[in-house]
Structure 1
């Protein structure tokens, strides 16, 4: 069985070909930000030359398409139709999009307290128009406990609306109405682009006559989803680049320490992730991208505008600041501005381009500060390490100050401090030993460090999640991600343990239906349970259990 992983980075697009758990080939091409699809296709064509043609191939993509569309505001015009119910002042939320508010209300237990107004439903056509080239997100406050209002609105829209439609309950079963609106809005805005991306990939695979077994897209939590699912829920693919770094580190590391910091140094940015007691840390509330707070499950990562091709800033006294923007190609490769890569090349720490050009540029700049070119090059590397150290320390300071929500955490707080640095990315062999020394930690530069992201993309496994809501007084359970509402048999005996067990069983069924997750560990991401009391008597219980197939990665060797 072969797997091809492709990771689109800020400077290069990497590809890896795996045969089972063996790295068969690597490829690297420049990233064309004006046409990311062209970069991805070129990387595929390069790596395809190494395919021996003796078996099917699974293609796994880590793409920045949705991420860039969100960050750069290039999604299609999108509006939100919301059913907030009483007591919600949408204007006070300061949402950066147009919201059309409808009457009607599903209460906190999933009961219809007030129906939708048929006249308002019919009036949506005048408000939204035909939707050609546009999108709409439909979100109810408690739709995760009863999606019927969202489904009724969608049934009306599909009769005449030609744009893409996103339903909030299909994206997350968690509470937090503002985050669900934001998640649905962003998803709707990039859905058409993802549909076109999926269609183009199908044409490319036909053109190249690739006998693919499946085409999967990496998600922000390090798992994967198929192309069809990515077209419905493209928002889950945001921040897949940092997730690929994390998966690559887990696939290739030989560290015995249980806690370490993952440092992926690229040409444009450096991504940081954290492993504690052998487990990758995840965002508690969901991914935050370009200031937008979402409910998308994601690896906890932080990106720093610091890379091999970052711009250099010199103060009058010779102090050096690096980044956050990319300067372009380094001078040693024909660029126009001095970069950290030029310093590395001049010091013969890496063989990149013309050393003579790098030395000459450093010498010209060093004269302004009364330094030799070598002294300036060393100072550039020191500045790089100082800023990287500050970023690592800032991340761990942030983690130490995160609130603890459970008694267990308060009584036995985890030791978050790293025992080692695990590095990847083309510049890693130069900078990681210096970073580890500055932090007083051991280190490991991963094998195939220049292509480890693509290896991580190829080695990642499919993951799924779902949320179960149960109300024993109403004898009803809801699984919003599946659009499922059904009665509870013997509600008097339906406790939290049964809710956990049923959620796990349904997740296994979903995994089997999608051909994934066989043997994968199912774990509870989040749960809550409380008694409902009326007239001094317990009348029922409410349970919420969110389960997931734990994101996994195959171990890879050279």
Structure 2
């Protein structure tokens, strides 16, 4: 049996999968205290199931994303070096940001040694600022991490966690590595505390199976290993939606996935079973990171979105959520109240829902039923506009799957998979608006939890080789080794695969299921004085996101 649990903005969904079937599923209204919510959800979902029957557990949480957006992170310091050509002050982040002298060139050769006195002064300033975690980023550390490692050594044991930029990404994008290192440092204490409390909660209930967290790339990472990369768990909810749609439906053709939650609607596009990707990294709050992700978008239309009348005549829906629907004791009218008033939902207090619609209707000179109909019509229009805008943006630039870049082809959805509690109500409206089939798969209410439970472990590595310098670097695993002048792309591929599989095993991948894709592959000669002096080889490999065995059934079992 597999346990999947997804903490959304409004509710926590949980499922138990057994032999490719959903054996149990529950929804729990979120409490202010996250661990209380998790405990209640676990107890309800696993009622009557022996703890030792659970063989795998996967969790998806909005905690990291919320902490960034609400600026509820711990203070983290940054030590950055770049050398000439780019001013690192442009990318200043956090309460204690320090630029020190020293740099490598684009090939990884040290051209200016680090100034140790400046690093020591930065340490003193960070201590004054009450910082207990530090990010370290040097401009070309992905070609040679020597200086980042040197700063780490000089820091000694003075900080509890050190986020070295080259360990999170092998990409050259300096600003994104700064943001990524900072977020990992700023989230580390919060994330570690959450993981420790979650581990205790699970152990108290006798749940000792392997534990994983969902990532935004549609894959998972071992729970304990996630503490090394806490920012990697941000934005995992939308990715869980996509993986849930794949598990429940298969997503053949050009499929638009819409997951309608209480707070937001998440959307994504899947091309014949392959989700679209953000190759350079996602934006989390105001930070552009190097964290790879499925291409998703969230908009402020949900079942519990605030409905109000502005200027005495204009109906406004979302993006804020003030609480539950009035039918469930909430403070403001919502689309959920409209659905209950029209008899489209059985849950909730019908009298309270009607009062919510009367409140809106009174301002528009409408009765409750007409107000409810208009609210649902406007909600559907808002979702429709957001979808059209999402597809337009996708068609305005090249798009990526895990295997290839797609250019010059207009992508138009030919079907929609609708998930979330209101799916059966909203799907007919969307089908009318788009004139394409809208599918509501089985277990649509808990699709995110299904997606989390069914997702495989993913990992990625980058390789940089310079045959003139005689050096090969795989920054994500901290590997730097000497190579011969006749080092080839074929040899690089073997080294990269070995490193990727090793990294995959370290974060919990199945040794027998390590399908990989080549994300980047580049080789060019280096010329000096009209002669070839060596080769530069670059590779990026990733374990392909997908579904574990027995869950990749396109809705035939689940």
The question of a shared fold, defined as TM-score above 0.5 by the shorter chain, is answered with yes
The secondary structure found in structure 2 opposite 1:325 is coil
Query: In 2, distance between residues paired with 1:409 and 1:230?
Result: 28
Residues 70 and 290 in structure 1, CA contact (< 8 A), matched pair in contact too: yes
Q: Partner of 2:46 in structure 1?
A: 48
1:423-462 to structure 2, matched below 5 A, reads: 423-462=418-457
CA distance in 2, matches of 1:201, 1:486: 39
Work out the CA distance in 1 between the residues paired with 2:356 and 2:232. Answer: 44
Residue 166 (structure 2) aligned to one of 165, 169, 176: 169
How many residues are treated as equivalent by the alignment?
550
Give the equivalent residue in structure 2 for 1:382: 377
Partner of 2:204: 207
* Aligned pairs (5 A) from 1:173-212: 173-210=170-207, 212=208
- Structure 2 SS opposite 1:391: helix
Q: Indicate whether 1:281 and 2:276 are aligned.
A: yes
Q: From the superposition, tell whether residues 213 and 54 of structure 1 become closer, same or farther in structure 2 (CA, over 3 Å).
A: closer
Q: CA separation in 2, counterparts of 1:404 and 1:324?
A: 28
Are the structure 2 counterparts of residues 79 and 94 from structure 1 closer, same or farther at C-alpha, using a change threshold of 3 Å? closer
Whether 1:544 aligns to 2:538 is yes
1:46-445 paired onto structure 2 within 5 Å: 46-53=44-51, 55-93=53-91, 95=93, 98-129=96-127, 134-159=132-157, 161-210=158-207, 212-255=208-251, 257-316=252-311, 318-403=313-398, 413-445=408-440
C-alpha change, 1:195 and 1:365, in structure 2 (3 Å) is: closer
Distance 2:52 2:213 in 1: 24
**What is the aligned-residue RMSD (CA, Å)?**
2.3
Q: Check the 8 A contact 1:121/1:153 in 2, yes or no.
A: yes
CA shift for structure 1 position 131: 7.8
Report whether the alignment pairs 1:500 with 2:476: no
Equivalent residue, structure 1, for 2:9: 10
Measured after TM superposition, the shift of residue 427 of structure 1 is: 1.0
Contact 2:457 2:504 in 1 (8 A): no
- For residues 58-94 of structure 1, the C-alpha deviation after alignment (integer angstroms, 9 at most, x for no partner) is 1111011111111111111111101212222123346
Q: Quote how far apart the aligned CAs of 1:228 are.
A: 2.2
Offset, 1:254: 4.6
Query: What secondary structure, in the 3-state scheme, does the structure 1 residue paired with 2:202 have?
Result: helix
TM-score by length of 1: 0.93
Instruction: Pick which of 122-131 and 135-144 moved more.
Output: 122-131
Structure-1 residue corresponding to 2:528? 534
- Matched residue SS, 2:377: helix
Gaps of 5+ in 1: none
CA drift of 1:317 comes to 6.7
SS of 2:210's equivalent in the other structure is strand
Which is further off, 280-289 or 90-99?
90-99
Segment of structure 1 superposing worse, 319-328 or 382-391: 319-328
Deviates further, 509-518 or 329-338: 509-518
1:246-304 per-position Cα deviation (integer Å, ceiling 9, x unaligned): 1111111155x321111000011111111123210111310111121000011111110
* Equivalent residues of 1:330, 1:336 under 8 A apart: yes
